[in-house]
Amino acid sequence: MTPILIIHIAAGGIGIATGAAALAVRKGEPAHRALGTLFCVAMLIMAALGVMLAAMLSEGTLLPKNATIVVGVFTLDLVASAWMTVRRKPGDVGAFEAFGCLVALGAAIVLLTFGLRAPYDSAPAHRHASPAPYFVFAALAAFTAALDLNMILQCGVVGAQRIARHLWRMCLALFFATSFFFLGQQKVMPAALHGSPILLALGLAPLAAMVFWLARVGRPTRSKADAMRIATSPSST
């Protein structure tokens, strides 16, 4: 394995481990902030190197290399915008968010184009591949761009909206990591686990965690003091 691939795998493993731990600990506390910071750094490294590897190496497992590059860039946008959400003051918005909106919109358009062209792709590696993954990732990118635009138009987010924006973007980025590893790289798993529901559960776990925490954030019975503590924390990554 090349050094880039080793670092990519290591960063992905650290990202998955710290992301899971950050979801498990109390939000806004020092442990959560420390784990969240490690998660952000690891995911940024993993995604950046993943883009490089996709450009250099052969076709990916879940998606062809060009689509993998786009998803990698989209993952960088998700992590960076989630981190910036809790670094900015509540209600603040700027050029960074506008650029992120354009990145997500561009990813949606490119992935949708790939999906529409997939049935006509003559490459042997893609001939029998389903276009569904293209459309799934395109829909996620379009949804992200729409929320970015809405946030820009309303001049930022505050309170529970700010927490939710940070939360779902981190969880979605974590889902990309777990799905590509546990579902897209089953060839490196023990043969007994190939196609196992255990790997499916591990791959989808961040989505379940996202739904759980978003429901908690939106609960009207949530402690006002607790919500304000998390929402106003300058580094509650």
Across 13-43, b (16+ Cβ under 10 Å) vs e yields ebbbebbbbbbeeebbeeebbbbbebbbbbb
pLDDT tens track of the chain, all 237 residues? Answer: 788 889 999 999 999 999 999 988 887 788 999 999 999 999 999 999 989 988 886 554 456 778 889 999 999 999 999 999 988 888 888 899 999 999 999 999 999 998 888 777 655 555 546 788 889 999 999 999 999 999 999 988 888 889 899 999 999 999 999 988 888 777 767 776 777 788 888 889 999 999 998 888 876 544 445 544 544 454 444
> Within its chain, how far is the Cα of 216 from the centroid?
20
User: Which residue, 14, 222, 185, 231, is CA-closest to 22?
Assistant: 14
Q: How many CB atoms lie within 10 A of CB 183?
A: 16
User: Which residue, 179, 169, 206, is CA-closest to 77?
Assistant: 169
Q: Which tokens in the block code for residue 158?
A: 């505050």
- pTM beyond 0.95: no
Asked if 181 contacts 16 with a C-beta cutoff of 8 angstroms, the reply is: yes
Residues 138, 108: Cα–Cα separation, whole Å: 4
Q: How many CB atoms lie within 10 A of CB 233?
A: 16
Q: Which tokens in the block code for residue 146?
A: 């729409």
Q: List the domain boundaries for the chain.
A: 3-231
> Within its chain, how far is the Cα of 1 from the centroid?
25
Q: What is the pLDDT of residue 194?
A: 75
Asked if 133 contacts 63 with a C-beta cutoff of 8 angstroms, the reply is: yes
